[in-house]
């Protein structure tokens, strides 16, 4: 077997605390799969975790990583439906680390975290698809949408924002998408948004009010937080919802707060959404795994 290596950190901090160390995988458990990793996904929450700014504090020394793509090297005795050498993707079924951690050349992970990789993708492309797409699917299926509805998606050029735009358009929904800078508005339109708004220069609430003739959007999906969250609430119609995730305006997730006028919640709903509620709901998780490769 090729020399095995793994990223670990023994103190919290920036990228400098990560060390590439020799790895000796433990004995494979009967429900696990051993994977030789070709590419990994990188996520903001992992950087927060490394700094102890995540909702789950690290137990030091800590491994890292919840998603990757690679090839099956060994199967636990209870694992069915996979073959040695098969190209597979490791999904983020647990937080903050899956199995022995995917920031590594090799990893042992639960078979429940494995799906066949999508035909025609490179390892790097595959590793970038699933985390964002699963969160987008989780968000966009929280409340039924259809033709005639309109949604607001903040940070539309982000990975989750892009996936949300594509899924919303697939449902026939009108999409308002935001980015901070005007120079990125064309990117939003290229990704499928009907309307692009640069929040540094434009008033998203007024623009939505004008275009929808005062109706507002049915749902807003916000990953920014801070003052943007209040703008999202002001943009949704009566009975509408704001689904918040990510809180990117805060460098420490534990310090993030929802600071909105109480009156803004009158006949409107604000919910924080985490990916792992999807993972914990078998029928929704199965639907996501079937939809995303399409």
Q: What is the pLDDT of residues 51-82, one digit of tens each?
A: 999 999 999 999 999 999 999 999 999 999 99
The answer to whether 66 and 98 are in contact (CB under 8 A) is yes
User: 46, 251 in Cβ contact below 8 A?
Assistant: no
Give the pLDDT of residue 259. Answer: 87
Six token digits for residue 70 = 């690679």
Region at 218 (left for phi over 0; alpha for psi -120 to 50; beta for the rest): alpha
The rounded Cα 235 to chain-centroid distance in angstroms is: 23
Beta strands 32-40; 106-110: pairing state? antiparallel
250-264: per-residue pLDDT in tens?
Answer: 899 998 888 888 888
Tell me what pLDDT residue 246 has: 87
pLDDT at 2: 67
- Measured distance CA(273)–CA(105) in Å, rounded: 32
Q: What is the pLDDT of residue 270?
A: 97
pTM of the model: 0.94
pLDDT under 70: residue ranges of the chain: 1-2
Q: How far apart are CA 289 and CA 115, in angstroms?
A: 8
Q: Looking up tokens 């689904």, which residue turns up?
A: 243
């Amino acid at each position: 077997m090729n020399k095995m290596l793994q990223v670990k950190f023994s103190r919290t901090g920036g990228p400098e605390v990560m060390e590439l160390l020799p790895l000796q995988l433990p004995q494979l458990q009967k429900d696990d799969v051993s994977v030789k990793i070709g590419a990994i996904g990188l996520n903001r929450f992992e950087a927060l975790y490394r700094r102890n700014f995540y909702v789950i504090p690290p137990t030091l020394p800590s491994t890292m990583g919840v998603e990757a793509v690679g090839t099956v090297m060994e199967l636990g005795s209870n694992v069915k439906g996979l073959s040695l050498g098969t190209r597979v993707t490791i999904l983020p079924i647990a937080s903050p680390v899956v199995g022995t951690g995917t920031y590594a050349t090799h990893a042992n992970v639960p078979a429940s975290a494995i799906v066949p990789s999508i035909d025609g993708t490179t390892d790097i492309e595959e590793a970038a698809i699933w985390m964002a797409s699963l969160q987008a699917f989780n968000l966009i299926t929280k409340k039924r949408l259809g033709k005639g509805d309109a949604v607001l998606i903040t940070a539309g050029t982000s990975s989750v924002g892009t996936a949300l735009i594509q899924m919303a358009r697939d449902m026939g929904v009108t999409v308002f998408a935001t980015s901070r800078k005007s120079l990125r508005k064309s990117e939003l339109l290229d990704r499928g948004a009907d309307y692009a708004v640069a929040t540094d220069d434009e008033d998203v609430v007024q623009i939505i009010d004008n275009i929808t003739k005062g109706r507002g959007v049915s749902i807003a999906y916000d990953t920014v937080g801070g003052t943007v969250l209040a703008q999202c609430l002001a943009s949704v119609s009566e009975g509408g919802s704001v689904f918040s995730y990510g809180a990117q305006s805060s460098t420490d997730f534990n310090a993030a707060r929802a600071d909105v006028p109480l009156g803004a919640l009158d006949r409107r709903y604000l919910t924080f959404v985490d990916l792992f509620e999807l993972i914990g709901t078998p029928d929704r998780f199965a639907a996501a795994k079937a939809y995303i490769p399409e």
